[in-house]
Structure 1
């Protein structure tokens, strides 16, 4: 069984222009970081022209496809019949994208097959994490 789930999706950027631009986006989940998911955007979708990835709690994504969730840098909420809005807040501003809810649910189902929700703690390598913390402290 693989340790990583990656899924390509199309995200629609919310912009002031009348038509939203669609960009290829990658959803990613790694068993080595069992509580997190990430959303990667290509250079053409960012103001700086470089690829950007946002990591946040898998639980936030799962909650946000059903009801508004999040109060910090990442917020997720349902939108219309089959869209979910992801908001990314930074010093530079707010980026909003729409992704088909069915795609997000499919991704979450694949991550659950890899690491069931509520069992993430079983996949943590606490000994390795402590070694890294101690190494960085010296």
Structure 2
């Protein structure tokens, strides 16, 4: 099966406190062979990038309204007069609050949604065909 990848390099901010944040180079990626997920890789003082994977739907919704609970929470806000999306990530290894420019995230998400419209993810995986073949036996 053919896989298409939509990537976007951008600079996130790792929010350390209300007054302090540090720039973090990051890459957003979306793969048509994993149509329900988005992947974010970023470098924080480490050899290996830190990778997070979560539901694309969560990021799409989080651009407009607070959503998510548990390990990944996403919500829109303003920072210095600019629209930003905040992502709170928590794992056994620690927690991070990341800030991304809404315009960049939205434009990238739009590309993923044009490629695989919401509701058509299962077709990308060929689940219907596989199920049909299974039941036809």
TM surpasses 0.5: yes
- CA deviation after TM superposition for structure 1 residue 125, in Å: 3.7
Between structures 1 and 2, the one with greater strand share: 2
Give the unaligned 5+ runs of structure 2: 131-137
1:24-63 Cα offsets, whole Å, 9 max, x none, are 1100000000000011112xx15x5521110000000000
Give the unaligned 5+ runs of structure 1: 128-138
Partner of 1:86: 87
8 Å contact from structure 2 (residues 3, 31) kept in 1 = no
Partner of 1:65: 63
d(CA) in 2 for partners of 1:79, 1:100: 10
1:1-138 matched pairs, under 5 angstroms: 3-16=4-17, 18-42=19-43, 45-46=44-45, 49-80=47-78, 81-126=82-127, 127=130
8 Å contact from structure 2 (residues 3, 33) kept in 1 = no
8 Å contact from structure 2 (residues 88, 98) kept in 1 = yes
Over aligned residues, Cα RMSD in angstroms? 1.9
> What's the secondary structure of 1:123's corresponding residue?
helix
- How many pairs are equivalent? 124
d(CA) in 2 for partners of 1:86, 1:49: 23
